[in-house]
Amino acid sequence: MAAGTVEPRTAGARWEVIIDPGRCKGCGICVAACPMGNLRLSEGVNSLGYHYVEWKYEGEVGPCTGCAACYWVCPEYSILEVVRSGGEGT
């Protein structure tokens, strides 16, 4: 494995990060923790008035690896879970 790459939890798996935007206070800790650049703060705001976090499968570095770093660092429990959503192309 090349330096700076992240090993997926399960090769060939596709991962999805489930977020509750209503809980998010836009601290950006999860954005900084994501090694693949899959998270960003939204342009819109939630009912609390914060720019909530948004997730996309294909990040700045590559696809989500399911590492769950975002889940473990979120102080507001806005990242509900990181789940396997199927195989390649699903």
Q: What are the chain's domains?
A: 23-84 (3.30.70.20)
Phi/psi of residue 32, nearest 5 degrees? -70, -30
Q: What is the pLDDT of residues 28-59, one digit of tens each?
A: 999 999 999 999 999 999 999 999 999 999 99
Q: What is the pLDDT of residues 64-87, one digit of tens each?
A: 999 999 999 999 999 999 999 865
Task: Report the alpha-carbon distance of residue 71 to residue 81 in Å, rounded.
Answer: 7
pLDDT at 68: 96
pLDDT at 49: 97
Q: What is the DSSP letter of 5?
A: -
Query: What's the predicted TM-score (pTM) here?
Result: 0.80
Six token digits for residue 12? 């060939």
Task: Report the alpha-carbon distance of residue 67 to residue 72 in Å, rounded.
Answer: 10
pLDDT band at 13 (very low <50, low <70, confident <90, very high): confident
Residue 6 has pLDDT above 60, yes or no: no
